[in-house]
Amino acid sequence: MERSKKGCLTALCICVSVLLCSCGPVIDVQYLPNRPALPPYTGKVAVFWKEHGTSMDPSTYDLIGTVTAQSNWCGTNKAKFNTGLHNYLINQAGEHGGNGIILYCGEIGSIAECYCYGDIIRFKQ
């Protein structure tokens, strides 16, 4: 009898662990290239926020492409700043050869989903 209780408790713990692990945010990313592929950029990627009034002179950079991302969890507040999603996009910019990214991430709306996109740029020398 004692052995079957331990087995049931172990099975219950495994099921709960699997359920908790599956509740984490899922990030779905798409990359739309604007030019041939560049080698990854390993330095610090400069970040500009379109919502914060950033206006850049387009003659100072080349547009490499656009990356979009969507997360199934935005947080407990519908206007929560989703740093995980933003950091993921910033990392994607470097992977695609960008040394900068212009983020468009208002994240107003649903608690259950965040959507964000960014223009990956490479500054001209």
- Cβ burial of 9 (10 Å; 0-12, 13-18, 19+) is exposed
Number of Cβ within 10 Å of residue 120's Cβ equals 31
Q: What is the pLDDT of residues 16-59, one digit of tens each?
A: 443 333 344 556 677 888 888 899 999 999 999 887 666 788 89
The pTM of this model reads 0.69
Decide if pLDDT at 9 tops 70: no
Q: What is the pLDDT of residues 53-83, one digit of tens each?
A: 667 888 999 999 999 887 766 655 544 567 7
More confident residue, 101 or 115: 101
